[in-house]
Structure 1
Amino acid sequence: MKKVDDISEGFLNLEKKLNLFEYRFSNILIWDYIRYGIYLEIKKKTSKDTVAKTSLKSSLFKSIFLLLKSFFDFLINFSCYKVSLDKDIIFLGHPRKVFEDSHYIDKYCNEIIEELHKEFSVKTLDLPFRLKHYKNEGVIDSKYLDVYEYLMIFAPYLVRTRLTEEEENFMEKIKSEIEKEFLVDINVSSHVKKGLKQYKILQKRIDKLFVKNTPKCLICVDGYDFIKKLFIEKANKHSIPTIELQHGAVGYFHIAYRYHKLENPLYSFPKCFFIWGEHWDKYLLLPEGKFSKVVGFPYLEKRVLAKKSTEKNILVISQWTIGFELIKKVNELAEQLPEYNFLFKLHPNEIDEFGRYKSSIKAENISIVGNEIGLYDLFNKSIAQIGVYSTALIEGLAFNLPTFIVPINGHNVFAEFINERIMIKLTSFDDIVNELESKISSTYTKNKVWHEEALANNIREIKLIVQNH
């Protein structure tokens, strides 16, 4: 099995060899829109572990029900879906909100928005999470992008695209090179044709928004989302400053922030990438003309409490792809460590399976936790954390939690943290007993991972970008 780093480097070399960013299918530079999906499929297929055995899948009936419910909400709340760019600063927020103080908020954007609104007019445009929305409290003006999501879903059936023989042959060449490099079979043609149809049905509609209005800045979270990439492309082409806020762990494994040197400007990537600390900068290979700024994470910094809990709680952070495999490991640990309480925090995608997880508990000292307790409250009441590859584990480091990584599928994303002893690769229950008394927080410079004075940094840099434009 190839290492994640090897896959990343091999993928970048393949892109360079075939000059994929310069190749036009139907006169469209589509590669940057589909590369992330292709890369993820390669990673999944090259892994010796099979995610499908433990991951959750939505049934066709449930998907159709959510889609119909979404349509109904759209029809009765039409004004919420009428999109325009008629404010100074436009935010494309994170669709998954966090529940805090009896309401939902966008932890990546809200505090920045509230501060910016003292000087600028601000609007957020939100994509749905699992085809529904969680009302974002505190946001001045918010509209929903569900229409664009619908067009993404139905584009393969609404748009026709014809490729030349040369283009068909080139897709086969990409497929062949991927198979040669990674020993996996990827349906490149499907990725290309679907991407082209989605691009064609969306790009003119999004461009019209920028023709009608010219905001001073576009700020997004999760900038490698297809729809957001189109907003970024159109904003860049209309000479509007674009910024992406870091929302997860960045490493050699994350191809969305790694590019070889390109011949021409890449409009689908934001001009500036705001990162949490200096630590993350070393992983970035940004396209020519793009740059990063170390700013920190305001939401997290504000919620780290100085006082530590004395409760013997160990937080377990699940992920929907490995959840059931993880709870088996936790059952074994909990039986060996009866003096500790294990709080098994479900990923939002796992909430509907609460009952299945609860029935999987074998030890009395394990509790399943859904949305009833916020993640940061759990950090503050725990003395350690366990997980596999969740970004939340990085956030837990800011709370000085000893961090243990269960070596199952996906854990290699934290290989460098493990090598530097910032995190501990869990091999037995003795690892927890031995490490809980050590000062793991002293083994890394916290400010390098989480830069201080985050809110002030974000606001200052946004203002500078707007003013210097």
Structure 2
Amino acid sequence: MSKITQEKQKKPEKPEKSEKSIKEVCDIIFSLEKKYDLNHMKIQGVYVWQLVRVYVYYEISRKIGVFGSPQQGKVTVKNKIFSFLPFIKNSLFSNPLNGKYNKDVIIFDHPRKVKHNGDYKDIYSYFLENYLDDCGYGYELIESPYLNNHHGKKGKFTKYNDRILFGSYIHKKKTNLKLKTCEENKIYNLQRELISNFNIEIDLFNIFRDHILDFKYQYNKYDKLFKKRKPKYVFVVVAYENKAMIAAAHNNGVEVVELQHGTISEYHLGYNYPNKEDKGLEYFPDKILSFGDYWKEVANYPINEKNIISIGFPYLDETIKSHINNQKCKQILFISQGVIGKYLSEFAYELAQKFEKIEDCDQYNFIYKLHPGEYSNWETNYKSLMKAQKLDNFQIIDNSEISLYELFSKSEYQIGVFSTAIYEGLLFNCKTFILDLPGAEYMDSLVDKNYVRKVNNVDEIINSIDNFNITEYDNDFFFKKYKKSSLDKFFNF
């Protein structure tokens, strides 16, 4: 056993947590990327940092206390048992590798679905299916499970990714990864830098191992898939979680296009690569179809700006119509997210309590809209909300039965941190407060342009209620109006 291997197996003393901002975390990571040329570093023939970059960023942020742990519900033993037979069925009869036929387009959609027009849909990609159906363009949709289940009706051209994902899990459990000494050196040096800079424990060896084994297994399966289907295009939602698929597509000469699914900023490591050497990365999509022109300038993408194409957000266009003319009332809407939900819920409770005691403010109602990932466990995780729901002016929304757009349309104010929904609330002319919690840096460009106001405490909100003045903005800049002709142009129809 090498000296390096012996050292890395010693259990270090648990360090005290340090406190850094999101910007400081990102700046340190960017400097290490430049120092070690991380995005071009190969381990076991794989550009491993490109695989783990986002994961390590969130792991660091969680360990130093910048972000809380995600509050998303877990897959219970009962759920695993009840999903076992459907999983076997899906693996046998809906395996995307079954059959020999060609498809012009393959779509990898978002696992989480939203009820829309009577069925559960991926709100970021269903418009593409409708378009391809109308054009008679051959496509296949490959759907991954969300919390061990598939929601909604299985479409005619839908396959389930259960077999590939489960195969990768088994492969990882039974396969040993043997590293060369020079590879161990690279990992050890980087691990030492991260421990030194962030004062945390982090096991890069296991993180790298898991991601490399997943990548190699999945790459082989997707390579077989693309050789069978011979697609011209692959569309994907959340490209940074599908690196093996992107690599296989590129090596088969297939163009990879990402559909924007959320907020992008200079602090989102799925998209921002500030070092000039990182242009043209192997595991990054060729093009991005964005919500609007605003998103072209908020990050240093490793692709040319001409390949970021504003196309709009069709789901928003469709859904907004039935709510846009609703009457505003004295309503304050909180937009929750798992990683900051604990702090935001405490803030909401404190603000609602104070409003009850202030003349004129006591007429306001508070709506706390939980993120779908928080629905199942907020009563356990958010004690402040359990107290808040006893207030006369406070309502908690823990389901998707009421449209978020209906809530926006009736709310005078919205309060959040960095959710994409905040941009949607701006379309409804919601006066917007950004609570200065970890992640608020994502919204700095909106704050700098005076489109929204950043606050630190409840008193700042109370003092701003009667004199909230912001700069006017063009809604189309954030969300361009979707037109079918945009896709005609993209596909050269």
TM score, norm. by length of structure 2? 0.84
Paired residue for 1:352? 376
Segments of 5+ residues of structure 2 without an aligned counterpart are 1-18, 356-360
The residue type equivalent to 2:145 in the other structure is P
Bigger mean CA deviation after superposition, 283-292 or 332-341? 283-292
Between the aligned partners of 1:270 and 1:412, the Cα distance in structure 2 is: 25
Q: Identify the match of residue 237 of structure 2 among 221, 232, 238.
A: 221
Whether the 8 Å CA contact 1:122–1:140 is kept in 2: the answer is: no
Paired residue for 1:276? 291
Q: Identify the match of residue 243 of structure 1 among 231, 249, 257.
A: 257
**Deviation for aligned residue 1:272:** 0.4
CA-to-aligned-CA distance 1:162-214 (integer Å, 9 cap, x gap) = 00111111111111222344444432111111111112222211111111111
Pairing 1:164–2:191 present: no
Between the aligned partners of 1:387 and 1:159, the Cα distance in structure 2 is: 44
Paired residue for 2:13? none
Pairing 1:431–2:461 present: yes
Paired residue for 2:81? 68
The residue type equivalent to 2:40 in the other structure is E
How many equivalent pairs are there?
Answer: 455
RMSD of aligned alpha carbons: 2.6
The residue type equivalent to 1:425 in the other structure is K
Paired residue for 2:53? 35
Between the aligned partners of 2:91 and 2:46, the Cα distance in structure 1 is: 32
CA-to-aligned-CA distance 1:413-459 (integer Å, 9 cap, x gap) = 2223223222222333563674477564x5323222222x3243641
* Paired-residue identity, %: 27
Whether the 8 Å CA contact 1:304–1:398 is kept in 2: the answer is: no
Matching of residues 246-395 of structure 1 within 5 Å: 246-259=260-273, 260-262=275-277, 265-287=280-302, 291-305=307-321, 306-335=324-353, 336=355, 337-353=361-377, 355-356=379-380, 359-361=386-388, 362-369=390-397, 370-395=399-424
**Deviation for aligned residue 1:271:** 0.5
Between the aligned partners of 2:486 and 2:149, the Cα distance in structure 1 is: 29
The residue type equivalent to 1:25 in the other structure is I
Pairing 1:194–2:218 present: no
The residue type equivalent to 2:448 in the other structure is N
CA-to-aligned-CA distance 1:127-174 (integer Å, 9 cap, x gap) = 11111111158x552221122322343343122210011111111111
CA-to-aligned-CA distance 1:350-400 (integer Å, 9 cap, x gap) = 111254456332422111112221222322232221222222112211222
**Deviation for aligned residue 1:18:** 0.8
Between the aligned partners of 2:336 and 2:127, the Cα distance in structure 1 is: 27
Q: Residue 186 of structure 2 aligns to a residue in which SS?
A: helix
**Deviation for aligned residue 1:248:** 0.8
TM score, norm. by length of structure 1? 0.88
Paired residue for 1:462? 490
**Deviation for aligned residue 1:57:** 6.7
Q: Identify the match of residue 126 of structure 1 among 140, 143, 151.
A: 143
Whether the 8 Å CA contact 2:73–2:373 is kept in 1: the answer is: no
Larger gyration radius, structure 1 or structure 2: 2
Whether the 8 Å CA contact 2:21–2:438 is kept in 1: the answer is: no
Segments of 5+ residues of structure 1 without an aligned counterpart are none
The change in CA–CA distance for 1:422 and 1:399 in structure 2 (over 3 A counts) is same
Bigger mean CA deviation after superposition, 175-184 or 119-128? 175-184
The change in CA–CA distance for 1:187 and 1:77 in structure 2 (over 3 A counts) is closer
The change in CA–CA distance for 1:288 and 1:374 in structure 2 (over 3 A counts) is closer
**Deviation for aligned residue 1:11:** 1.5
**Deviation for aligned residue 1:236:** 1.4
Pairing 1:115–2:131 present: yes
The change in CA–CA distance for 1:264 and 1:346 in structure 2 (over 3 A counts) is closer
Between the aligned partners of 2:127 and 2:191, the Cα distance in structure 1 is: 45
Q: Residue 118 of structure 1 aligns to a residue in which SS?
A: helix
Bigger mean CA deviation after superposition, 375-384 or 391-400? 375-384
Whether the 8 Å CA contact 1:262–1:288 is kept in 2: the answer is: no
Paired residue for 2:30? 12
